[in-house]
Structure 1
Amino acid sequence: MPVKDDAVRLTAAASAQLARQVADVFFAEALFDRMSDIVFFVKDCAGRYVVVNQTLVQRCGLRSKQAVLGRTAEALFPAGLAASYAAQDALVLSGKRQLFDQLELHLYTNRRQGWCLTQKIALYDMRRNIIGMTGISRDLAAPDRPHPQFAAVALALRYLQEHYARAVSMAELAALSGLSVARLEHHFRKIFSLTPRQMMLKLRLDAAARLLSDPGVSITEVALTCGYQDHSAFSRIFKATVGMTPSAYRVHIASL
């Protein structure tokens, strides 16, 4: 084991030396500027953007990073969304929570909507004090159709698309696809970047978003149509995923 221990020590020493020598600790900004499907940001403890990539700038409908830097979510996003982002950030900055693979529906200035998976973590100084946070939101990728289990998993997806308004069990989907529950979960995530449960949530809220654009459909009707037994449960899940209540979303969409 001495050889392995020496390698670990050498690696740690090299890492520490490189950290001291790097002139720009935000070197990742230039890399994320090249990724149009990923929003990247760093915020200070007050929630102000201190580093952003070009994708975030474009999706805010702005022309330059200077228009974003130093501002908070409240200054850049609709009130409902901003409040949701701020609450999410507060949990991360308090050290109480890190965010991994959070499925979210983002709204953009051009009225386009986009599903993404969000990750957020706190940043620490040498004394383990939280000094800010960083995060990315990655657009959901197109399905991996060449995957050898695509046909089997597609059967499960089609079933979800047809029956999202009721509770569908993993056992049902596994039996339909001819895979074990564990293998179905694994292949589903590989192909669609989501678990079956996340896909069910996405299908329900996609349908809800369409229905909410029609002012003639009540929110209670939307909830029932999309598989939720009561208005409050639907509103809670919708807000957690979209960042605003169904009522606020309806107003926001009508104003665009």
Structure 2
Amino acid sequence: MQSSNSLDTFLAQMKPGQISTILMDMLPEIITCIKDINGVYIYVNRAFAETLQRDSEEILGKNDAELFGTELARSYMKDDADICESGDPILEKAELVTYRPGIVRWYITSKIPLYNTKQTVIGIAGISRPSLAHQHISVSGPMASVGKAVDYIYENLSEGIGVDQLANICGLSISSLERHFKKHFDCSPGKFISQVKISSACKLLADPSYTIAAVGDKLGYPDPVVFSRAFKREMKVSPSGYRRSLIR
């Protein structure tokens, strides 16, 4: 094995881009990216583009808020800002990654700061892999309670889920549950429930065999008007408008 000094010398002679762009595209289901100091994507690998179901050219030049449009995007951006400010990496963090149309899933994410030759942080690089235990997180403490709550939400998408009911299932007070969700996801449990349901609705709306009313009913919205309002609140477009946008 080469020493770090030998590796540094070798990399300094190497043509840029040969590792980050070629090998990263060969990683199935593992998403990698590079963002500049403003959180703008300047590189994503093939798996990242496939996850968002977009061409990489549609992603580059945008930030998380423009791509995801949810409260979770705020959490991603806060992590990036903290890394750029402190210079400290975030390693092996369990977090939820969203994509449209699709679902919200657990990933294990690591992010590191990137420096220029003057040792100034100029951006971040990140890599995320799907968690094999994304529905049964084997961690202790507050994250275990949050994981139990997330499991319950996914397993009961067709039901109306109240925050008080969720807190009782997790053995937490409502205020504690709200505090844990705010810490880990930067949103309330109620907001998270809505995000998961509407994200699942996006996936169902991509299937023309489902009527819009059937999609709402399947996700615990028996009243089509209530479903439409909930969907538009999250997606800024009606269910029918979203379905039309999928037709190319």
TM-score norm. by structure 2 comes to 0.68
Q: Percent identity?
A: 24
Distance in 2 separating the partners of 1:86 and 1:98:
14
Letter in 1 for 2:100: T
3-state SS of 2:48 partner: helix
Distance in 2 separating the partners of 1:110 and 1:242:
20
* Matches for 1:51-90 after TM superposition, within 5 Å: 51-62=43-54, 64-90=55-81
Deviations 1:46-100 (A, max 9, x none): 00011111111122221x1111111100110023121111111111111254211
1:232 counterpart residue number: 175
Q: CA deviation at 1:206?
A: 1.3
Distance change (3 Å), C-alpha of 1:96 and 1:245: farther
Residue 19 (structure 1) aligned with residue 11 (structure 2): yes
Residue 37 (structure 1) aligned with residue 36 (structure 2): no
Segments of 5+ residues of structure 1 without an aligned counterpart are 1-6, 144-160, 162-191
Larger radius of gyration: 1
Residue 139 (structure 1) aligned with residue 130 (structure 2): yes
Distance in 2 separating the partners of 1:204 and 1:19:
46
3-state SS of 1:24 partner: coil
Match of 1:49 among 11, 33, 41: 41
1:220 counterpart residue number: 164
3-state SS of 1:30 partner: helix
Segments of 5+ residues of structure 2 without an aligned counterpart are 202-248
1:128 counterpart residue number: 119
Q: CA deviation at 1:116?
A: 1.4
1:205 counterpart residue number: 150
Distance in 2 separating the partners of 1:240 and 1:234:
10
Aligned residues: 196
Contact 2:116–2:122 at 8 Å: present in 1 too?
yes
Distance in 2 separating the partners of 1:34 and 1:111:
22
1:146 counterpart residue number: none
Contact 1:32–1:40 at 8 Å: present in 2 too?
yes
Distance in 1 separating the partners of 2:45 and 2:84:
21
Q: CA deviation at 1:108?
A: 2.6
Return 205-214 or 90-99, whichever deviates more. Answer: 205-214
Q: CA deviation at 1:121?
A: 1.1
TM-score norm. by structure 1 comes to 0.66
